[in-house]
Structure 1
Amino acid sequence: MWYWITFTPARKAGASVMAAVLAAAVAFGGYTLANPAPPPPPNLSCGVGVSRPSVGSTECEGVTDGQYVFAPELKAVEARILKQNQSVADQHPATIALLMPMTSSDASVQAEVLHAVEGAYVAQYRADNLDNNTVPKIRLVLANPGSDSSGWLAVDQQLNTMTGAPDYLRVVAGIADSTQNTLDEVHWLTHLPAPIPVVGGTITADTIANTANSQLFPGLARVSVTNTAEAAALARFAKVDAKQAMVVEDTRTDDDYITTLKAAISKQLGTGMAQPVQFTSPADISQDGDTEDQFDQKVLNICMAAPRFIYFAGRHVQLRQFLNALGQGCPEHKFIVLTGDDASHLASDKELNSTDFGGITLEYAALAFPDAWTKQPVPATGGSTADYEAFLNAVGSSGLTLGDSDLSDGQVIISHDAVWTAVQALDHAHISGQILPPPLSAVGQEWQNLHAELRVDGASGWICLDNGGNPWDKAVPMISYNGRVSTFLGMAWPEGAPPTADCTPQAGADG
């Protein structure tokens, strides 16, 4: 049966609309087949608070309370940190962030990162469990800006979001490497509208420091002396004759440890000596690059000059290469090689050829050393055996098993002292009866009070902060290393002698 449909004007309009809809649907279907929807953005998350900076990155950057493990060697200590954090979660703790590169492919750096995290944990455990008078309790988080700190800005921004509830971040501690990225991250944190107080650990560059008259980093304190102070202590202790000295230096200009160490050595030795022997390290200073080949040639000229003292201004990888080349190239000569605290890395460097040390004596200014306050005679001021034993007691009580080999690079000790200094500032800034942690501004103002009666009795020595936030006349352990064993030689002092018993910084002195 047939039915005829008469197209009235209304029906014609409806048919047109339907035809248009069908045509559009067909067209859209063809478009989606030719142009499929973009894929969802890649999941860069590694865990709570931690992510990869980009697709293909093997590093995870960010902040964790121990839930995410940055590296396999950190697993055990991070588990202890997480457990300690959970134990004080209901006691309105203040958060301290340990900010430093947590990931590295270099075995010696991995060991030092582990030691630094262990030192921070010891200070946290000590504050929360062994010092009943410490208020507030301490929550510790680990902040990783990447192996070269290139992710510092994203991590700094993340830390800035943690200053309010529920984290109450109050201090950023650690700050290990004296590089441009480190300088930038410290500058950013200390120039926020509400600056975050910072305690530098192993940074020694003069460029990442305040003076009494110049507050480039408001709210920055440090527990290590500057390169200038190290160089002065080295020269005094070794009794260097500039006429018998030569300098071997890296030409790179983007590493503040190297540039300020070069300047400090030049200032200490003055004029009238041979021009420096220069080399250029690779872009990634943790890699060998071609500097080994450079040193093979340069050592020939050094052998001819036969200086008694050789100042080395460079990082530990290049120092290891230089010592290997010097030992092989000049076995008949005796040299005293002098350098800064980065030499402490050699203790865990498997590529150092100790059999070729021969006539080489390496002496360096350490930031801390296990024998410094136990080997007699112990200085009457500037630190004490009792202070160091209190640290050792905290190590034992924390559940960690650390021997002298773990402590010899100074990382555990200095990291403990950096966090312990933050703990003292938080304690002094706390207002009796107050439940929540003290405000950021109150904590940062405490740096100028931490001397004399309120000095910090650190495991590395007295920390008596001057108005620039630098440790005044801090003890500098002098260490000799023969390729196998590190030996404590004695204590040197930036001011030439230990501080007086009141440990009051003197005007005009910076670190």
Structure 2
Amino acid sequence: MAPVAEPLDPGTRSADLRRAPPMTLWPAGPLNRALLIAAVAVVLGTGGYVSYDRWLAEDPACAPGVAKRGPRHECVGVTDGGFLFAPSLKQVTGRIKAENDSVAGKSPATVALMIPMISDTQAEQQEYVEQVQGAYLAQYRANHQANGKQPPIRLVLANPGRGYEQWRTVADQLARAAADKKENLRAVAGINISITETEEAVRYLTKDKGIPVVAGPMTADDIKNTAADPHRYPGLARIAPGNTDQADALAAYGSDIKPAETLVVEDIREGDNYLASLRQTFEKLAKGAPNAPETFRSPPDFNDEGNLANDFHQMVPDICSSDAKTLYFAGRPVQLRLFLVELSNRKCNKHYTVISGSHASTLTVDEKFADQWGALTNGAGITLRYPGLAHPEAWGERSTTPTGGSKAALQELTDLVQKFGTKEPDSIGPANLSDGRVIITYDAVSTAIAGIRNDAVGSVKMPSLSEVADSWLRLHGNNRVEGASGWICLDQYGNPYNKAVSIVHLDPASKTAAFDGIAWPAGRAPDPNCSIPN
């Protein structure tokens, strides 16, 4: 412990103080001061980083495990539900805290939901609420409706900040929880967007820290293991169809689309894995189109509208003069909203089908789109279609698809939503399944739990991190996860094979995503055993 300076004797005279030599911690002089600064930098940059990071993580400015970080001074870190990241999360966070308290002292395994939980936009915040709701429902089902399977499941919320800006600090907290036998963190789920920061976070968690990760609504094609690079992210499992799989499903569903009648509209902003793979996907579908893609560049923050309405206004006349009937839009939801509004004001009398990626589902909860549904009415002559991550009608009562999904699994989730998705104080708040985010996050956490419990057999009460990661290798065939979004059959690289893709369109009458049908990346439904070909 550092010595404490003694108070000055009241009798000490100022003159005596002036005569006393100055006390220094380092010899004076510019060179020595420079050496001191360099030494401090080295300490903080190496061994000091851990203690400095630990101190910040435990800074009580927000709560234990949650500290103010970054230029916005937002509270980031990990909580068991004892801290509220945003007012909109109050009800579901309270349920998580109560459930965690109920399994305390029962040697639970911990699963972390790692997604941003603070946003300046209403649409994003609603998405975060839905994903936390899905995670809680998976935890509740595991602890109360799984025939007493062990170990119990503890759920923690890991907020890496807007745009995952503070992912490294949170990842280090999770790594400490994985090494702590009281915490027993065994998997990280969530990872809800495909950008450079999430790619770095997934690589760090899986490769550097050995922590299994189950990505939820992440669809970029380049954040996954492949035959060419099978150990790029060791322990990564994905449950949503990637952009290429979505494109193959769209091609199978819309086989009557003629490439000569298509046009790609694409965002060329760098540093966004979702945009990069969506551009490649749509350029492939539009191969043979007579016109080169119409391009634009969104602001660094893709929630920023910038001046893109002006760009789209200038773009629309060229679209009208082309032979295109189908427009492939490779962009984020904010830019898609601006584009649809400008396209609805076009001077030409043509009907257009606009096809975009799964992130288009955000429009259903975007308050700025609430007054723009008229852009999709019959009079406007625009149909927006996209591959949804999941849809409650995919395996509903009217479903006739014999394989690839489970009516029972979807019904189980639907029953849980009816039980907890209310405005009552002890509920999780109103829950909406139509945009798929509750469903896909529920499936991601359920898959993590399946991996943990499949290894908790015999004398093994708590599997190791590597055992959980290896369990992804067995989640296929008869050991598949009966997801509410469809069967989850993982290949040897942790990717979903031939996962069902719900094709939807935005319905201006109901102002929701209307279900069109199921399409398959392989062009057909899987066999009854969910076999993966060699």
Judge same fold: TM > 0.5, yes or no.
yes
The corresponding residue for 2:390 is 368
Looking at structure 2, the residues matched to 403 and 187 of structure 1 have their Cα atoms a distance apart, in angstroms, of 34
The corresponding residue for 1:168 is 184
2:350 aligned partner, one-letter code:
H
Unaligned ranges ≥5, structure 1? 1-19, 33-40
Q: What does the per-residue CA deviation read over 1:272-328, in whole Å, with 9 as the maximum and x for residues that have no partner?
A: 531000011011101111111111111121112151100000100000000011001
Deviation at 1:330, TM superposition (A): 4.2
| Structure 1 contact 50–61 (Cα < 8 Å) conserved | yes
Q: 1:241 to 1:69 in 2, by over 3 A?
A: same
Looking at structure 2, the residues matched to 321 and 386 of structure 1 have their Cα atoms a distance apart, in angstroms, of 39
Deviation at 1:29, TM superposition (A): 11
1:477 aligned partner, one-letter code:
S
Q: 1:22 to 1:277 in 2, by over 3 A?
A: closer
Looking at structure 2, the residues matched to 25 and 271 of structure 1 have their Cα atoms a distance apart, in angstroms, of 86
The corresponding residue for 1:9 is none
Which of 157, 170, 177 is equivalent to 2:193? 177
The corresponding residue for 1:25 is 17
The corresponding residue for 1:392 is 414
| Structure 1 contact 378–385 (Cα < 8 Å) conserved | no
Which of 116, 119, 124 is equivalent to 1:101? 116
Which of 463, 486, 491 is equivalent to 1:438? 463
The corresponding residue for 1:455 is 480
Between 226-235 and 170-179, the greater mean CA deviation after superposition = 226-235
Which of 195, 202, 205 is equivalent to 1:186? 202
Q: What does the per-residue CA deviation read over 1:150-206, in whole Å, with 9 as the maximum and x for residues that have no partner?
A: 1111111111010122111000000000000000000000112x5000000000001
Give the paired residue count: 478
Q: 1:330 to 1:110 in 2, by over 3 A?
A: farther
Between 63-72 and 398-407, the greater mean CA deviation after superposition = 398-407
| Structure 1 contact 95–168 (Cα < 8 Å) conserved | yes
The corresponding residue for 2:272 is 255
Unaligned ranges ≥5, structure 2? 1-11, 25-54
2:522 aligned partner, one-letter code:
E
Looking at structure 1, the residues matched to 329 and 14 of structure 2 have their Cα atoms a distance apart, in angstroms, of 80
| Structure 2 contact 403–525 (Cα < 8 Å) conserved | yes
Which of 278, 296, 299 is equivalent to 1:282? 299
Looking at structure 2, the residues matched to 22 and 319 of structure 1 have their Cα atoms a distance apart, in angstroms, of 71
Q: 1:330 to 1:91 in 2, by over 3 A?
A: farther
Q: Partner of 2:165: helix, strand, or coil?
A: coil
The corresponding residue for 2:50 is none
Deviation at 1:370, TM superposition (A): 1.2
Deviation at 1:59, TM superposition (A): 1.6
1:149 aligned partner, one-letter code:
Y
Looking at structure 2, the residues matched to 145 and 342 of structure 1 have their Cα atoms a distance apart, in angstroms, of 20
Looking at structure 1, the residues matched to 175 and 291 of structure 2 have their Cα atoms a distance apart, in angstroms, of 49
Deviation at 1:235, TM superposition (A): 2.1
Looking at structure 2, the residues matched to 258 and 456 of structure 1 have their Cα atoms a distance apart, in angstroms, of 29
Aligned residue runs from structure 1 range 41-440, under 5 A: 45-54=61-70, 57-163=72-178, 164-192=180-208, 194-215=209-230, 216-239=232-255, 240-330=257-347, 332-352=349-369, 353-357=372-376, 358-374=380-396, 376-398=398-420, 406-435=432-461, 437-440=462-465
2:326 aligned partner, one-letter code:
F
2:374 aligned partner, one-letter code:
T
Between 289-298 and 455-464, the greater mean CA deviation after superposition = 289-298
1:325 aligned partner, one-letter code:
E
1:230 aligned partner, one-letter code:
Q
Deviation at 1:486, TM superposition (A): 2.0
Looking at structure 2, the residues matched to 373 and 345 of structure 1 have their Cα atoms a distance apart, in angstroms, of 22
Q: 1:405 to 1:68 in 2, by over 3 A?
A: closer
Q: Partner of 2:404: helix, strand, or coil?
A: coil
Deviation at 1:503, TM superposition (A): 0.4
Q: What does the per-residue CA deviation read over 1:6-62, in whole Å, with 9 as the maximum and x for residues that have no partner?
A: xxxxxxxxxxxxxx9985524569999xxxxxxxx99672111111114x6242111
The corresponding residue for 1:5 is none
